[in-house]
């Protein structure tokens, strides 16, 4: 049984980002079974898999009918024209599509089907690229005018598979999830299984536990910092106050400040560089 989070209300309208794959189809059926009746489904055809992408769209049109909004973007062309990776181009295209769906419907809460195994992959990916902190996805995450909601974020992939199997729900398999060109695919299909084999344990559980511990420390730091007036009346960091803090809290303050200004893809190197600028005598 997959529990219903208290912050979801069956009486309210939501958008749902749906691909046709097992996770988003599971989320669709789970919402219906929990009495949600005001769902508008948003599907972006990335045109990455030729006939397969079109088959996904047809499958969803048959399943959802008039409640489905569809967009199309040639992500390969977009990536080439903007010198982006396919993953980044696809993410940017989805965000713009969700903005359009929200604008057309007046609904700005968007449900996504990310689960605990996706979270572990994200955490490992961010750790390996040098992200600032052991940062993962949030169950409720604001981005501009949109709020993304992930009710499955604490649910393991195996539980979702069992849910689908128990009700014999149909879904589409995305063959690109098996292709090694995407970093996330290699982490999911190669690296995490290899690490679990080497350690003789489920490392996904350990990654998630470490993330929870890190989040608790961040929350404690944020509570402490909220009692300090770190910004001046013009909204700038007050350097004497910043320099009076322990180095870990200086870094957290800088991270909060940059994040509040929508600086994307922050890494530890960015925070260290900013710390050096604000306090030239300090070492990272």
Tens-digit pLDDT profile for residues 95-108:
999 999 999 999 99
Spell out the alpha helix ranges (H) of 34-106: 51-64, 75-82, 86-105
Strand arrangement, sheet containing 146-149? 68-72, 39-45, 14-17, 109-111, 146-149, 140-143
In the predicted structure, residue 134 carries a pLDDT above the cut 90: no
Tens-digit pLDDT profile for residues 17-59:
999 999 999 999 999 999 999 999 999 998 887 788 889 999 9
Q: Specify the range with the lowest mean pLDDT, choosing from 24-28, 64-68, 103-107, 262-266.
A: 262-266
The helix, strand and coil proportions of the chain, stated in percent and rounded to the nearest 5, come to 55, 10, 35
Question: What are the chain's domains?
Answer: 14-172 (3.40.50.620), 202-278 (no CATH)
Q: Calculate mean pLDDT across residues 105-120.
A: 97
Q: Calculate mean pLDDT across residues 129-139.
A: 80
In the predicted structure, residue 13 carries a pLDDT above the cut 90: yes
Q: Calculate mean pLDDT across residues 160-181.
A: 80
pLDDT given at position 132:
64
Coil, strand or helix: which one is 112? coil
pLDDT given at position 251:
92
pLDDT given at position 130:
80
pLDDT given at position 178:
54
In the predicted structure, residue 182 carries a pLDDT above the cut 80: no
Q: Can you tell me the distance from the alpha carbon of 233 to that of 218, in angstroms, rounded to the nearest whole number?
A: 25
pLDDT band at 161 (very low <50, low <70, confident <90, very high): very high
Q: Can you tell me the distance from the alpha carbon of 251 to that of 265, in angstroms, rounded to the nearest whole number?
A: 16
pLDDT given at position 179:
58
In the predicted structure, residue 180 carries a pLDDT above the cut 70: no
Say if strands 146-149 and 140-143 run parallel, antiparallel, or are unpaired. antiparallel
In the predicted structure, residue 211 carries a pLDDT above the cut 80: yes
Percent of the chain's residues with pLDDT above 70: 95
């Amino acid at each position: 049984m997959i529990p219903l989070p208290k912050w979801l209300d069956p009486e309210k309208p939501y958008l749902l980002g749906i691909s046709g794959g097992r996770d988003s189809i599971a989320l669709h059926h789970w919402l219906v079974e929990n009495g949600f009746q005001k769902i508008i489904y948003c599907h972006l055809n990335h045109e990455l898999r030729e006939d397969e992408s079109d088959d996904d769209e047809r499958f969803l049109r048959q399943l959802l009918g008039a409640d489905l909004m569809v967009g199309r973007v040639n992500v390969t062309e977009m990536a080439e024209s903007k010198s982006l990776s396919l993953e980044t181009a696809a993410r940017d295209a989805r965000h713009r599509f969700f903005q359009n769906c929200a604008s057309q419907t007046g609904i700005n809460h968007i449900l996504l089907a990310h689960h605990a195994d996706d979270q572990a992959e994200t955490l490992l990916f961010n750790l390996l690229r040098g992200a600032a902190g052991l940062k993962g996805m949030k169950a409720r995450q604001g981005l501009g005018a949109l709020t993304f909601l992930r009710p499955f974020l604490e649910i393991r992939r195996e539980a979702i598979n069992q849910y689908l199997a128990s009700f014999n729900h149909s879904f589409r398999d995305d063959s690109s999830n098996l292709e090694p060109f995407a970093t996330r695919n290699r982490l999911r299909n190669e690296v995490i299984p290899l690490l679990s084999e080497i350690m003789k344990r489920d490392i996904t559980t350990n990654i998630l536990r470490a993330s929870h511990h890190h989040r608790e420390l961040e929350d404690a730091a944020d509570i402490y910092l909220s009692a300090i007036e770190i910004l001046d009346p013009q909204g700038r960091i007050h350097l004497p106050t910043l320099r009076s803090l322990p180095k870990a809290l200086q870094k957290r303050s800088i991270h909060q400040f940059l994040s509040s200004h929508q600086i994307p893809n922050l890494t530890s190197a960015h925070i260290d560089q900013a710390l050096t600028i604000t306090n030239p005598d300090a070492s990272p």
